[in-house]
Amino acid sequence: MMEIKGIIPPVITPMNEDESICLPELRRQVSRLIQAGVHGIFALGTNGEGYILSEKEKEQVLDAVIEETGGRVPVYAGTGCISTKETIRMSLLAESLGADILSIITPSFAAASQEELYEHYRRVAESVKLPIVLYNIPARTGNAILPATAARLAEIDNIVGIKDSSGNFDNMLQYIELTRHLDFKVLSGNDSLILWNLLAGGAGGIAGCANVYPRNMAAIYDRFCAGDLDGARKAQDAIRSFRNCFRYGNPNTIVKAAVAMLGYPVGPCRAPFNRISPEGRQALEEVLRANQELGME
């Protein structure tokens, strides 16, 4: 079993002008993040626009990420789909390609009961050998994994963790409290809560901001583990100005635009999720410039 820990960027998926995937730049981004000291790479996450890629494109992205990573850090693969059958198929594909860990988002659109969610994840877990990290992001999917359900799922051998993007710190605390007796890792999906997750006994975060500031984000975890709490707090606080730009658009749109502004040809997010107002673009440019002067990277 791979150890679930640290700062894992949900790597963006670079695209060309015609919205086709730019695999050479994807490989460049993967190596850039690893060289900056991140602890894993998450392909096909929200920031990777997994929600809008075809199955063939997902296979291309995941294959390139696994090959480029070359075992330097674990590769997490986002394989969650709406149906259980489709999720199993995508999970088996990721397993065959050589992914290390599966990240499985809750089914979306239709409302699911907690028992339906439990059975969904149980069936997927029984169909694969890889460890599974659950992914709770109710604002996007409409379905939430309640703490009691997470605790039940944590009893399944290869369900080893959960990413909580609810933004509700008490919800994340309950995940930690109810699974403390198990080898079950809780990761923050909200970048502002990573240090507080660690202080509460969590394992780190799957951090979209790490696409922009990988070294700074990795420092939150590394400094915490080294006992440098003040340094970890400084690294955590440093992303506030960037996260304030999220009010100007979809967070993953802002993240990808920021990487492009840093000089990487990653393209915008796939339409229609690619708009930033002129005011937002100006604010983002100013924040990036100010943080660059502070030495953030």
Q: Which residues are catalytic?
A: 135, 163
CA angle, corner 93, sides to 274 and 102, nearest 5?
70
- Please give the Cα distance from 50 to 174 (Å, whole number): 28
Strand partners, 6: 204
Contact 106, 117 (CB under 8 A): yes
Q: Are strands 132-136 and 41-43 parallel, antiparallel or unpaired?
A: unpaired
Helix (H, G, I), strand (E, B) or coil at 18: coil
- Please give the Cα distance from 95 to 100 (Å, whole number): 8
Contact 73, 164 (CB under 8 A): no
Which DSSP string do the residues of 125-192 spell out, in sequence order?
HHH-SS-EEEEE-HHHHS----HHHHHHHTTSTTEEEEEE-S--HHHHHHHHHHTTTSS-EEEESSGG
Rg of the chain taking only CA atoms, in angstroms:
18
Stated as kind and residue range, the H or E segment containing 101 is strand 101-105
- Please give the Cα distance from 138 to 150 (Å, whole number): 14
